[in-house]
Structure 1
Amino acid sequence: MASLEVIESGVPSAEAKGILILWPSTGGNSRSFRIRDSELVSYGLRLVRFNPPSHGNSGGTYDPKTAIYLLDEYLTEKNYLGKPLYGIGHSGGGAALLMYAKQTSFQKLFLLSPILDSVLSLKYLYESDSIEEFSRLLLLPNLSDGEPPNKQILETLTTPDWLESGGVDHLSFPVKNVRIQVDSLASFLRNLFLPGFQVESGMYEKRTNVTIFLPAEDKWFPKTHTVDFAKRNQFRILEIPEAPDHFFSQSWLSVWKEIKSIGWD
């Protein structure tokens, strides 16, 4: 099995009053979230920074279902499932934590713009003429747009035709850049979008306290869909006005402040 990077900090595991799991956005890195060790100690928390396959220094190619299994296996081996669980998830990581919450009870989840429907997210990017933001996350560094394989990536993703045809076999090559590393771009696209995944409603409100954070503007997923989903499931919605985009650029500390104000009880 490819190497899996999980970084722990905070109070010693034997003394932890709770386990806080941090799952980054698809292509993100759990290291990018600033949380002081002294704060974790004051709350009695053990922080588990989870980098699923193709994130951070984890090898392999990302698939949400496999990643959920790997996290569950890790938490089981560490005997963490008997302690109160909390989760912070961004984008695709937020969706994965919601799916994991169907089988494992969390005390609280804090989700930053969760991608509740992967195909809807891609279609929304196409409709808002923002698909290039996604495409450029997948390009190889130090190559021009006209050089292969970047040329093939951009040409394939410029229209949503591949979502209908499933025609991605020609993208069966590895990609590694500062945002993402996959053994096969074709497998990565199939795992996430062909046919894609949806987070279903109606299975969380009695077991898990969920807060969803939204930025002022989100080109990656329709905020109206998220708000409707939250209302159906009786989730708390908090907008972070200073967050300019889906990635909550320069505004994580505002989100963290809100998380701390909600607390761990």
Structure 2
Amino acid sequence: MFPLEIIESGAPPNEARGILILWPSTGGNARSFRIRDSELLRDGLRLIRFNPPSHGNSGGTYDPKTAITLLDEYLKGKNYLKKPLYGIGHSGGGAALLMYAQKTTFRKLFLLSPILDSVLSLKYLYESDSIEEFSRLLLLPNLSDSESPNKQILESLATPDWLVSGEVDHLSFPVKNVRIQVDSLATFLRNLFLPGFQVEFGVNEKRTDVTIFLPAEDKWFPKKQTVDFAKRNEFRFLEIPEAPDHFFSHSWLSVWKEIKSIGWD
């Protein structure tokens, strides 16, 4: 079994009034979100920083469904599911928390630009000529673009043809950089995009209080789709004007301020 990095902090388990799960973006790291222990203690929250497979120091190759099962097993093992659950998820992590919320009751979810449809996200990157932002997240360090396997990655993902053909076997090699580590890039692409995942409508059957945060501009997923989705499901949505992009660069503290103002009750 591969190692799984899950970092806990905040209120002691036996004293916590609620469990806050933090799920990063695909290729992100749960360690990067600044949340003070003093704030968690004040609010009585136990923070679970969840790095799913291939994120942070977790091994394996990422697959949303498998990651949800792993998190669920961990929370059951810790007896945390008996306490109120809260979640913060970014991008693909936000989508995963929405999917998890279909089977497990959350009191509140705070989602930063959730990727509601993985294939649509890639098509949107192609349409906006921004696909290289995605491709470069997968490159091996200390290699030029003209060296293998970086050359293969950039050339293979330069057009959306592979989304139609499903031909990714030639990318069956490991990738490890500061953002992501996978045993097989081909398996990673299959898990996320062939055929991909969609967050189904009607996810709010459990009446979870959901807030979606949007940046000023998002090249990774169409904001209109997200707003329409929020309206259909009666989710709260807020734009963070100082957030310049999908990654909410240099604006996490603004999001955290909004989360605290909404509160945990």
Supply the RMSD in Å over aligned alpha carbons. Answer: 0.5
Q: Does the residue aligned with 1:93 lie in a helix, a strand or coil? A: helix
Q: Does the residue aligned with 2:229 lie in a helix, a strand or coil? A: helix
Moved more, 197-206 or 58-67: 197-206
1:94 corresponding residue in structure 2? 94
Mapping of residues 74-153 of structure 1, within 5 Å: 74-153=74-153
Q: Normalised by the size of structure 1, how large is the TM-score?
A: 0.99
Q: CA deviation at 1:199?
A: 0.1
Q: CA deviation at 1:201?
A: 1.1
Cα distance in 2 between the residues matched to 1:163 and 1:96: 21
1:19–1:86: 8 Å Cα contact kept in structure 2?
A: yes
1:107–1:208: 8 Å Cα contact kept in structure 2?
A: yes
Q: CA deviation at 1:193?
A: 0.1
Q: Which runs of 5+ in 1 are unaligned?
A: none
2:19–2:80: 8 Å Cα contact kept in structure 1?
A: yes
Cα distance in 1 between the residues matched to 2:207 and 2:105: 6
Q: CA deviation at 1:203?
A: 2.7
2:130–2:219: 8 Å Cα contact kept in structure 1?
A: yes
2:23 corresponding residue in structure 1? 23
Q: Normalised by the size of structure 2, how large is the TM-score?
A: 0.99
- Letter aligned with residue 29 of structure 2: N
1:157 corresponding residue in structure 2? 157
1:205–1:235: 8 Å Cα contact kept in structure 2?
A: no
2:39 corresponding residue in structure 1? 39
Identity score, percent:
86
Q: CA deviation at 1:206?
A: 4.4
- Letter aligned with residue 91 of structure 1: S
Cα distance in 1 between the residues matched to 2:164 and 2:176: 26
Count residues in correspondence.
265
2:102–2:206: 8 Å Cα contact kept in structure 1?
A: no
- Letter aligned with residue 13 of structure 2: S
- Letter aligned with residue 219 of structure 1: K
Q: CA deviation at 1:204?
A: 1.0
Q: Does the residue aligned with 1:213 lie in a helix, a strand or coil? A: strand
Mapping of residues 185-196 of structure 1, within 5 Å: 185-196=185-196
Cα distance in 1 between the residues matched to 2:219 and 2:47: 30
